[in-house]
Structure 1
Amino acid sequence: MAWGGEIIRRLTRAHRTGKTNRKKFDEAMGRHAEMVARLEELEVLRAQDEVVAATQRKELEAEMAAEKEARAAEKQALGAELERANARAERVKEDFLKSPEFDSLLAKKAWGYFKDGFWGCLAQFRSNGYSEEEHPASFLDLQQALEHLGDDEDAEEEEQEEGEVGDGTEVNTPNSPKP
């Protein structure tokens, strides 16, 4: 019986080990089933997230394309407005350059340059020792020079009128300033 007791003990131990292994196996299978279920749930969530992300991406791309088109249209409109403004400015500039106001401003500026240059030249002559008594220069007298200028213009007009009426054989000589 000793031999039979040894077999029973070994069988009992093997049965306990089998039960323990079976219990551990069942627990592992339960955890495995839970993990598989969790994995499937995560895969479903990931698929949903991918669909949502793809939808959002398409919406954002469409929004960006619309915004890009709007900016291009705005840029084109601003470019056209700039061209109109430049054209208008050019017209206003041309009108101003043809206006009597511009001629008046130009004459004032030219007169200012002439006057400053004349008085500067006169001052330079005087500072270099040219006295009006020793070296009479009629062009140094502004009033006399302006009167003389008017006389020259009248004389030129008369000569032109005579040249038109005459036989055309006269030669017009340029007038030189009279001292």
Structure 2
Amino acid sequence: MVKCLTKAHQKMNASRDQFDKAMGQHAEVLAQLEELETLRSREKEAAEAQREALEAQMLVAKEAHEAEKAAREILEAELEEVKSRVARDAERLRLEGKEEFLKSREFDTLLGKKAGGFFKNGFFGCVAQWRANGYPEEEHPATFLNVQQAIAEMPDEEEIPEEEEDEDEEEGGVGSEATPPSSPLS
């Protein structure tokens, strides 16, 4: 029996040693588990803080984008307004320039040259038609067929009496849309 008790006692001591060893391991595992849970909670808090920071950045970026979009729309509206104002001003200046040109001496000179050219070509055309149709110049000399003489006999604008100018202005003036008198040859 002593042997049995000794064996039982040794077995119990071995079991106690194993139990103590297991309890030590259990305590180590619990400590590691607590450490892991602490790390996990810290990582979770860090991830939550990072997520909140990213959401805040996204909100700021979204607000900045909206502000830029609104500013762009305002600038585009201002640009369109400036373009339309420039177009109106350009048209007004073009019309003013046109009116000034029509009143200028240069326009009168150009118009005189063109009118002289049309008169000369028309005059020579009429003379050619009369000659082609057998107008007898020898029997009926026509002094008006001389271009230089006809131009010399034309009254200057300055020589037109004021009464005739007033009548021209009442009838629409020079350059009006009134129809010219019809030619006796037509």
Matches within 5 A, 1:1-179: 1-98=2-99, 99-100=101-102, 104=107, 107=110, 147=148, 150=151, 172-173=184-185
Q: How far apart are residue 71 of structure 1 and its match?
A: 1.2
Deviates more, 1:53-62 or 1:25-34: 53-62
Q: How far apart are residue 35 of structure 1 and its match?
A: 1.1
Counterpart residue number, 1:135: none
Q: Distance in 1 between matches of 2:72 and 2:59?
A: 20
Q: Distance in 1 between matches of 2:8 and 2:49?
A: 60
Sort the Cα spacing of 1:30 and 1:102 in 2 relative to 1 into closer, same or farther, 3 A: farther
In structure 1, give the amino acid aligned to 2:185: T
In structure 1, give the amino acid aligned to 2:40: L
Q: Distance in 2 between matches of 1:102 and 1:5?
A: 144
Q: How far apart are residue 86 of structure 1 and its match?
A: 1.2
Number of aligned residues: 126
Q: Distance in 1 between matches of 2:108 and 2:9?
A: 132
What is the root-mean-square deviation in Å for CA atoms of aligned residues? 3.5
Q: Provide the TM-score with structure 1 as the length reference.
A: 0.56
Sort the Cα spacing of 1:173 and 1:2 in 2 relative to 1 into closer, same or farther, 3 A: same
Q: Distance in 1 between matches of 2:79 and 2:16?
A: 91
Give the gaps of 5 or more residues in structure 2: 118-145, 156-182
Q: Distance in 2 between matches of 1:148 and 1:3?
A: 168
Q: How far apart are residue 150 of structure 1 and its match?
A: 3.8
Sort the Cα spacing of 1:55 and 1:147 in 2 relative to 1 into closer, same or farther, 3 A: same
Sort the Cα spacing of 1:38 and 1:24 in 2 relative to 1 into closer, same or farther, 3 A: same
Give the gaps of 5 or more residues in structure 1: 115-144, 155-170, 175-179
Identity %: 10
- Post-superposition, which runs of at least 4 consecutive aligned residues in structure 1 deviate over 3 A? 100-108, 145-151
Q: How far apart are residue 42 of structure 1 and its match?
A: 2.0
2:45 partner SS: helix
